[in-house]
A and B are shown apart, each in its own frame.
Chain A
Amino acid sequence: MANPAGYWREIPQRYRLEAGKCKSCSEMYFPPRLVCARCGSRQFETVKLQDKGQILTFTIIRVGPSQFMDETPFAVGIIELDGGVRITAQIVDCDFEKLAIGQRVRLEFRRIQKQGEAGILCYGHKCVPI
């Protein structure tokens, strides 16, 4: 993960939440795709995801990958953004005891990973309760 080219390629999605909307049936895809799984169309338009949503499910990672050591334990969940698209994202600046299915959150720009002390920095969005 996060070799420079592979990371750079996903920037429109990670920084600007750019999704693809099928021109035929309006199904939304994040990340965007080449073909609509619902209707088979290959025509899409770029649409930005909304930056607010609700928690569908969540967990607290207590034993995590070593590169997330400084943040462990951390909460992560599946969030349904207003507009219908679902994403997997960490939930931060939250009280674990108060996390609940249905809770409203907004997306905030955060650093997701870094490649050691000398590699690139990788950014994206996490959720914050509102």
Chain B
Amino acid sequence: MAGIIGYGAYIPRNRIKVEEIAKIWGADAPSYKRGLGLEEKAVPSPDQDTITLSVEAARSAIARAAIDPREIGAVYVGSESHPYAVKPSGTILAEAIGATPEVHSASFEFACKAGSEAMFVCLCQVESGRIKYGLAVGADTSQGAPGDALEYSAAAGAAAFLFGRDNIIAEVNETYAYMTDTPDFWRREHQRYPRHAGRFTGEPAYFKHVLGAAEGIMAKAGMTPKDFAYAVFHQPNGKFPLNAGKRLGFTKEQIETGRLVPKLGNTYSGSSPLGLTAILDVARPGNRILMVSYGSGAGSDAFVFTVTERIREVQDKAAKTRDMLDKNKVYIDYGTYAKYRGKILKAE
């Protein structure tokens, strides 16, 4: 049996409100807030990127797991905003946490499910016995094109999970993947911003795969929604995860703890993983958790976790997700946001 032995999160402190963005583009803020189920999002500072966020989240995971980083056999970062197109984010992360040189690394990409893909691969390596510990991070500093709907929600954050066989805090009971070729959202090489297919990103994309994966894993595991204390779905906006949950038969209470998006925005590869960290921060032994990610292109990874007794020993060992989300916030205006996100043309 393998599972999560440590987890960590990192959310940058800057926030921009929907009103600030709407003001610049002449959009109606209240209708965006209603339509997206979103109030504000996290913005990385100019000195933060997927790698820096990953390092902070990973350090928290290691603190909770209380292991020697030299025994980590694989370090994978899943993101759609890797700072290097060629040179894995994991190389710098592994060096920073002291896992080098006996360690595997590669960059994972599958839109918003790159993080959960990394989690799946680490789990398998640990289960096979090939490695003792595996570190999987879902992190992004995603960009939305100016004036586009995605600009309101594209946010930044990182969630890190250490997998192992001993001192497990959340067992992995079941996994499931549901993936097809669906052109709902993509980014061609060398393009600065992604493109999306509007309303096509709903039913045939998000819902088909999230529901497909959720139903698939519950059937495989012989479970129903009432077996779970918590469920966390990919959260591109505030409404989709509520809708998915409702259609599957989950209650709002089961979903609310992991649903960070209204105040966080969509952290892409960090989206459902960060929701999972928020749940683990308050979960109790015996709680069962369903996590379903979604990555455009498209696919969903599903996991069933059961929290162990050991969870109580580790929750307080590092920063908690809700604390990072709700405290020490710095609100910025659109000009500062555009400067921070490199949206202003500079001289050569």
| Touch A–B, Cβ below 8 Å | yes
Establish whether residues A123 and B92, one from each chain, have CB atoms under 8 Å apart when the complex forms. Answer: yes
Given A11-B95, A70-B339, A123-B96: A110 touches B83 (CB 8 Å cut-off): no
Which residues of chain B come closer than 8 Å to A111, judged between CB atoms? 47-49, 51-52, 83
Contact B47 A110 (CB under 8 A): yes
B120 at interface, CB cutoff 8 A: no
> Do A110 and B52 touch across chains, with their CB atoms under 8 A apart?
yes
Encode B86-109 as 1/0 by CB contact (under 8 A) with A. Answer: 000000100110100000000000
User: With contacts A108-B56, A123-B51 known, is A93 near B96, CB below 8 A?
Assistant: no
Contact with A along B39-61 (1 / 0, CB 8 A): 00000011111011001100100
Output the least CB separation between B64 and chain A (Å): 16
In contact, B47 and A126 (Cβ under 8 angstroms): yes
Which of these, B46, B95, B346, contacts A15 with CB under 8 Å? B95
How many chain-B residues does the 8 Å CB contact rule pick out? 23
**Count of A residues near B, CB < 8 Å?**
17
B122-161 Cβ-contact flags toward A at 8 Å (1 or 0): 0000000000000000000000000000000000000000
A85 to B96, CA, bound (A): 20
Residues of B within 8 A of A126 (CB): 47
Residues of B within 8 Å of A121, CB to CB, are 49, 51, 83-84, 92
The residue that A123 contacts in the complex, of B52, B59, B98, B330, with Cβ under 8 A, is B52
Q: Is B191 interfacial (CB-CB < 8 Å)?
A: no
Does B178 touch A at the CB level, under 8 Å? no
Instruction: Take A11-B95, A15-B96, A71-B46 as given contacts and tell me if A93 and B52 are in contact as well, using a CB distance cutoff of 8 Å.
Output: no
Enumerate chain B interface residues (CB-CB to A < 8 A): 13, 45-49, 51-52, 55-56, 59, 83-84, 92, 95-96, 98, 328, 330, 339-340, 342, 346
List A residues at the B interface (Cβ < 8 Å): 11, 15-16, 69-71, 90, 92-93, 108-112, 121, 123, 126
Starting from the known contacts A16-B95, A109-B52, A109-B56, 13 additional A-B residue pairs (CB-CB under 8 Å) come to: A15-B92, A70-B339, A70-B342, A71-B47, A92-B47, A93-B13, A108-B52, A109-B59, A109-B96, A111-B47, A111-B48, A121-B92, A123-B52
Q: List 25 A-B contacts (CB under 8 A).
A: A11-B95, A15-B96, A16-B95, A70-B339, A71-B45, A71-B46, A71-B47, A90-B47, A93-B13, A93-B45, A93-B328, A93-B330, A109-B55, A109-B96, A110-B45, A111-B47, A111-B48, A111-B49, A111-B51, A111-B52, A112-B47, A121-B51, A123-B51, A123-B92, A126-B47
